[in-house]
Amino acid sequence: MEAKSVVYYMKDRKVGDPMAAEHSPLLEISGIKKYFDVSKGIFKKKKQYLKAVDRVNLTLNKGETVGIVGESGCGKSTLANIVMGALPPDEGNIIFDNTDIYSLSKKELKEKRRGFQMVFQDPSSSLNPRMTVFDIIAEPLKSFNIVKGKQLIEEVEKLLSIVGLDISYKKRYPHEFSGGQRQRIVIARALALKPKLIVCDEPVSALDVSIQAQILNLLRELQDKYHLTYLFIGHGLPSVHYISDRIAVMYLGEIVETGKKDIIFQKPAHPYTRALLSSVPVPDPDYQTEKRENTEILGDLPNPIDPPSGCKFHTRCPIAQDICKQKPPVLSSIRDNQQTACHFPITESLEEAKEYKAFIN
Amino acid sequence: MANDQTLLEVEHLKTHFFTEKGVIPSINDVSFSINKGEIVALVGESGSGKSVTSMSIMGLIESPGKIVNGSIIFDNQDLTSLTHKKYQKIRRNDMSMVFQEPLTALNPVFSIGFQLIETIKVQQKTNKKKAKEIAFEWLEKVRIPNPDKVFASYPHELSGGMRQRVMIAMALSSRPRLLIADEPTTALDVTIQKQILRLMKDLTKELDTAILFITHDLGIVAEMVDRVMVMYGGEIVEKSEVKQLFHAPKHPYTEGLLKSTPKINQWGEKLHAISGTVPTPSNLPKGCKFHPRCPKAFDRCESEHPPLIGHKDGSQVRCLLYER
């Protein structure tokens, strides 16, 4: 078997995000870098940096959902904080609605932030236990002086019913609710300012299985109704798969693969994406034995302070070659709607990829 | 019923918590058995009673909790009537547990090596030198790449996956006959989860250890286990072979749970969601515990508490729809 026919390798692959030109972008994450100084010692002779986010480019178009997946420590939550304007990046721009949010003054940023809101993982820690549901949802409306008096009450009641909560709940406190209901309150608060973008950082991870589906459905419904754009961060691949249009896979601060959901899940080209997908337990006992590629990924996540040279994944990669240790691969298009940062992307079928693997071993 | 293959037989187990606010019936009338070397899953959401069931078996229910009724027959003796000392002996030799969060289960001020040696010394009544040998043997068995380094490290210096490997080494070094694994991979990343699951499966097969696997992840159930018990509101609502459960779920709750789980091998329309919220043990509905959320509920479900009904395919289901 000829290896070259299996692995598709072209020098002049198209670089950049091909989706950006076709649609109208709402959020552009361009060249974001965030390094944390983790040097030890008083004199800090040797500088050490944790590269939490490294050269990340991502574009979100109006009305779509982009899912970011990756293991803990891959930088997905840091990226969310940077997008929210809460953590200035070392390099790069966050362009929301044609404005670079880090070029704005504090006051301007506050005004701009009406357009983008966040939903967190743990709804009990993102709700003030001493405030009633009414106060929680009314707070953003009051702070931007949007409505007052009777109208404020009406608006809060409207938001409650939008997220599927009874309007009589408005006088209660967060602890009186279950996790799923609390997450609905958080969503209602996020919706209060009629945002265009909602950043969801693992919004269903802390919830029970039967409740996860409710919240995911609610997020989808709201998207259709209000033409929302979501940046959806999660490590639970099935839920990210369910809600997203496009997916970006992160590994140690970098996007290693991105593209349309169907392509990423059906034809993953990066060995890490493949490993990630084959690690997800599938709730179907027959699927295991018959159709599943069974690649177990080796080893642990490397120390992010001292990441491997070249391609950061090479220490765990089943098909790594010498070049992978030396030269970091560039994210580039390998087929329509799919970009991969890998020297040897797997673009053929599973069977051929296996033969290729056997060939190089 | 019990035969010579039965390792654990739980019958009519009731554990209640006697709090100031009243009695909380965490589990009610739970009965099941586990055969030697078998992997059985206990599936349920928060508050369904799955962890209380496992703690009851381990004899770790503390005041205000109490086992008020039922028996736990392990190896022909009833654990509920054992003295503290005898129970400890069983926990030392025959039964182990792996918890969800290994960081809280390991002592932060002692090195991994020290904790392993202590455990092995007590379990197997050997001297320090022999215990160290066994410890290294187990670190290799749980596929830790550099045992020397891990042996000298402290828990916080290890990754979550490594810590869970150490926990598994500790739990299995006494070659127990039953391992209770309470969501052992929930805190881990998927690629590490896969490694740990495979490790548990391989090692317990080698030792012929049975596992009671507590989880809420139906994917893990499909990959790991032979039989499944679904818990809801403090009782078992369905018992089934794993394939039957996925191909022909019987209880409306099981059915809803399966439908509401997003799957990466299926291209989904809208997810089916179970309406309502998970009831807390202090506030369980009358009749069938699931009836307020059940799409198939009828008038009798509100008042009548359904028994476990045997189905012709061998599974059992607690639902009046299957009455005949």
* Mean pLDDT, all residues of chain B: 91
Q: How far is A244 from chain B (nearest CA, A)?
A: 12
Distances (CA, A) of B293 to A104, A211, A238, A275, B257: 49, 12, 24, 38, 12
Shortest CA distance from A294: residue in chain B: B194
**DSSP code per residue over B269-310:** SSPP---S-PPPGGGPPSSSTTGGG-TT--HHHHHPPPPPEE
Where residue A351 falls among pLDDT bands split at 50, 70, 90?
A: low
**Any chain A CB within 8 A of the CB of B246?**
yes
Q: What is the mean pLDDT of residues A257-283?
A: 89
Task: Output the CA torsion sign for B219, A248, A36, A85.
Answer: negative
With 0-12 CB in 10 A as exposed, 13-18 as middle and 19+ as buried, what is A53? buried
ipTM: 0.84
Nearest residue in B to A292, CA atom? B265
The CA–CA distances, whole Å, from A278 to A69, A266, A281, A295 equal 14, 11, 8, 7
Query: Range with the lowest mean pLDDT among A36-45, A211-220, A252-261?
Result: A36-45
Q: DSSP alpha helices (H): ranges in B146-295?
A: 147-152, 160-172, 190-207, 218-224, 242-247, 252-259
A-contacting residues of B 269-308, CB under 8 Å? 270-275, 277-278
Q: Does B41 touch chain A (CB under 8 A)?
A: no
pLDDT at A258 over 70: yes
pLDDT for position A318: 84
Contacts of A211 in chain B (CB under 8 A): 45, 277-278
pTM, full prediction: 0.86
Quote the pLDDT of residue B159: 87
For residue A293, the model assigns a pLDDT of: 57
Q: Is the confidence at residue A347, as pLDDT, over 70?
A: yes
Residues A75-84 have a mean pLDDT of 92
Among B253, B265, B275, B282, which would you mutate to test the A interface (most chain A Cβ atoms within 10 Å of its Cβ)? B265
A214, A279, A300 ranked by CB distance to B190: nearest: A279
pLDDT greater than 50 at residue A108? yes
Q: Which DSSP state fits A54?
A: E
Instruction: Among B160, B263, B278, select the one facing A238 at the smallest CB separation.
Output: B263
A357 pLDDT band, cuts 50/70/90, is low
d(CA B122, CA A253): 45
Rounded to the nearest integer, the mean pLDDT of chain A is 85
Predicted pLDDT of residue A82 = 94
Give the pLDDT score at B188.
Answer: 87
Q: Distance (Å, rounded) from C-alpha A356 to C-alpha A345?
A: 11
Q: Which residues 6+ apart lie within 8 Å of A359 measured at CB? A: A1, A3, A6
Task: Judge whether residue B42 has pLDDT over 90.
Answer: yes
- Chain B residues whose beta carbon lies within 8 Å of the beta carbon of residue A241: 262, 264
User: Quick one: how far is CA B27 from the chain centroid?
Assistant: 14
As a whole number, mean pLDDT of residues A347-358 equals: 58
B8 touches chain A (CB under 8 A): no
Nearest to B38 by CA among B177, B160, B181: B177
If phi > 0 it is left, if psi is from -120 to 50 it is alpha, else beta; for residue A124 that is alpha
CA dihedral A285, A287, A293, A299 (to 10 degrees): -30
**Closest CA–CA distance from residue B191 to any residue of chain A (Å):** 5
According to the model, what pLDDT value does residue A335 have? 86
- Test B271 with A237 for CB contact under 8 angstroms: no
Q: Which of A89-93, B101-105, B183-187 has the highest mean pLDDT?
A: A89-93
Nearest-neighbour CA in chain A from B236: distance (Å): 17
The average pLDDT across B121-145 equals 92
pLDDT in tens, B136-146: 999 999 999 88
Omega cis (within 30) before B279: no
pLDDT digits (tens, 9 = 90+) for A281-292: 888 887 755 555
pLDDT band, very low/low/confident/very high, at B2 (cuts 50, 70, 90): low
Band the pLDDT of A11: cuts 50, 70, 90.
Answer: very low
Over the range A245-269, which residues count as b (16 or more CB within 10 Å of their CB) and which as e? bbbbbbbbbbbbbbbbbebbbebbb
Residues 115-134 of A with CB under 8 A from B: none
B178-182 and B65-74 beta bridge pairing: unpaired
| A131-160 tens-digit pLDDT | 999 999 999 999 998 888 999 999 999 999
Rg (CA), chain B: 21
Confirm if A32 and A84 have CB atoms less than 8 A apart.
no
Q: What confidence score (pLDDT) does residue A350 get?
A: 54
pLDDT at site A282: 84
Inform me whether the pLDDT recorded for B299 exceeds 50: yes
* Interval B108-126 mean pLDDT: 92
Nearest 5°: CA angle at A81, between B261 and A86? 145
Q: How confident is the model at residue A207 (pLDDT cuts 50, 70, 90)?
A: confident
The confidence score (pLDDT) of residue B95 equals: 93
- Given a contact cutoff of 8 angstroms between Cβ atoms, the answer to whether A109 and A88 are in contact is no
CB contact B191 to A (< 8 Å): yes
**Looking at CA atoms only, how far is residue B218 from chain A in angstroms?**
5
The mean pLDDT value for A162-178 works out to 92
From CA A134, how far away is CA A171, in angstroms rounded? 6
Do A281 and B260 lie within an 8 Å CB cutoff? no
Compute the distance between CA of residue A194 and CA of residue A146 in angstroms, rounded to an integer: 11
DSSP states of A166-220 as a string?
-GGGGGS-GGGS-HHHHHHHHHHHHHTT--SEEEEESTTTTS-HHHHHHHHHHHH
Give, in order, the Cα–Cα distances in Å from A360 to each of A6, A81, B250.
12, 41, 48
pLDDT of residue B133: 94
Question: In the sheet where A197-201 sits, what is the strand order?
Answer: A116-119, A197-201, A229-234, A65-69, A246-251, A254-260, A338-340, A332-335
Closest Cα in chain B, distance from residue A266 (Å) = 9
B193 contact A CB<8A: yes
Neighboring chain B residues of A235 at a CB cutoff of 8 Å: 189-190
Q: Is the pLDDT of residue B115 over 80?
A: yes
Cβ B219–A287 below 8 Å, yes or no?
A: no
CB B210 within 8 Å of CB B40: yes
Q: Inter-axis angle of helices B84-93 and B112-124, to 10 degrees?
A: 120
Whether chain B has a CB inside 8 Å of the CB on A213: the answer is yes
Question: Nearest CB to B218: which of A178, A277, A283?
Answer: A283
> How far apart (Å, rounded) are the C-alpha atoms in residues B116 and B170?
6
Q: What is the DSSP letter of A246?
A: E
Is A281 within 8 Å of B261 when comparing Cβ atoms?
A: no
The shortest CB-CB distance from A283 to any of B46, B145, B263 is to B263
> Residue B76: which region, alpha, beta or left (left: phi > 0; alpha: psi -120 to 50)?
left
Cα–Cα distance measured from residue B189 to residue A315, given in angstroms and rounded to the nearest whole number: 17
The pLDDT, as a whole number, for residue B123 is: 87
